[in-house]
Amino acid sequence: MRIGLFLPELGGNIEGAVQQVVDAERDGFDSTYFGQIFGADALTIIAIAGTRTSRIEMGTSVVPTYLRHPFAMAQQAMTVQAAAAGRFTLGIGLSHAPVVENMWGLSYEKPARHMREYLDVLLPLLREGKVAHRGEVFRVAANLQMSGVQPPSVMIAALAPAMLKLAGERTDGTITWMTGAPAIRNHIAPKLREAAAAAGRPAPRIVAGLPVCVTDDAAAARERAARAFVIYGQLPNYRRILDIGGVPGPADIALVGNEAEVERQVRDLAAAGATDLVGALFPVGDDAAASIARSRALLQSLIGKV
């Protein structure tokens, strides 16, 4: 299992965000991922970080598709890939109906169709440099002139059966959030692998993003997680995957406990089928920095050993 870090948004502190990637590479982590929510542009940060690093994989988890035309996404992704010297992974996703409709004023009708056609445009542009597509959502005939750049790996945030089928058939895998070992073992992995095998594609990656807190006070950590991640128990997409995993809420899916307990949970995640863990470190107690450092040290100790 590859071990990476889900790096926090730092607002306008771009240098600080880039330094997080530099530090993660120095500490031996396999990957770093940035979310694309309401702060700085993750793709821009990764492009800068790509010029300051030499080994570490950098990815997005995930860039919402509705705000970026697939040609614009392809153009930016190839530019980031060039800056990162081939170490960029493009993670894209649908976001959520309340965000797309209520915040952005766009239609969330038939999201699986939207993603299918989005890939119909995006993937040929990345892989072949051209596309001719006429569908219900997109009508695009265009060339992308980025010679000498290998296309980045592409994964989609897939939790529902239709999206997992699409991920397996068309992309390199899925990037999940708030999805624990039982849901990966019984739902994500079998559906994703079946779709990839049917399409003659290689075994897909399953990147599991989860909150992590190494502590001797697991009850306090879960209480903090319940407050910090409460929204993920309310958004329909995450609520469904929590239910599939048989857990009441986000606090129950976090990797929490002392070093031995969290290591056991990480190994269970790998045994369930996750190929990557991307840890979102969160603190508990009065000394937040020490708490984060303890969690980071545990994940660092597991690199190359799970």
How confident is the model at residue 108, as a pLDDT? 96
Q: Does residue 99 lie in a domain region?
A: yes
Domain count, the chain: 1
- Which pLDDT belongs to residue 295? 98
Q: Is 138 within a domain? A: yes
What local confidence, expressed as pLDDT, does residue 172 receive? 98
Position 153 in a domain:
yes
Does residue 125 lie within any of the structural domains? yes
pLDDT at 261: 98
User: Does residue 46 fall inside a structural domain?
Assistant: yes
| Below-50 pLDDT ranges, the chain | none
> For residue 56, what is the domain's CATH number?
3.20.20.30
Rounded CA separation 281/111 (Å): 31
Instruction: Round to the nearest angstrom and report the end-to-end CA distance of the chain.
Output: 5
Residues 6+ apart with CB under 8 A from 290: none
Q: What is the pLDDT of residue 80?
A: 98
pLDDT, position 190? 98
Q: Is residue 234 part of a domain?
A: no
**Angle in degrees, CA 59, 4, 119, rounded to 5:** 30
User: E strand or H helix at 34, and its extent?
Assistant: strand 31-34
Pick from 25, 178, 16, 150: nearest CA to 88: 150
pLDDT reported for residue 11: 87
What number of residues does the chain have? 306
Q: What span, in angstroms and rounded, lies between the C-alpha atoms of 212 and 253?
A: 10
Token pair in block for residue 225: 């997680």
Would residue 260 count as lying in a domain? no
**What is the token pair recorded at 60?**
């997005």
* Domain, as residue range, for 130: 1-157
pLDDT of residue 9: 84
**Nearest Cα to Cα of residue 156 among 127, 130, 192:** 192
Residue with tokens 């989860």: 210
| Among candidate residues 36, 39, 49, the one with its CA nearest the CA of residue 6 | 36
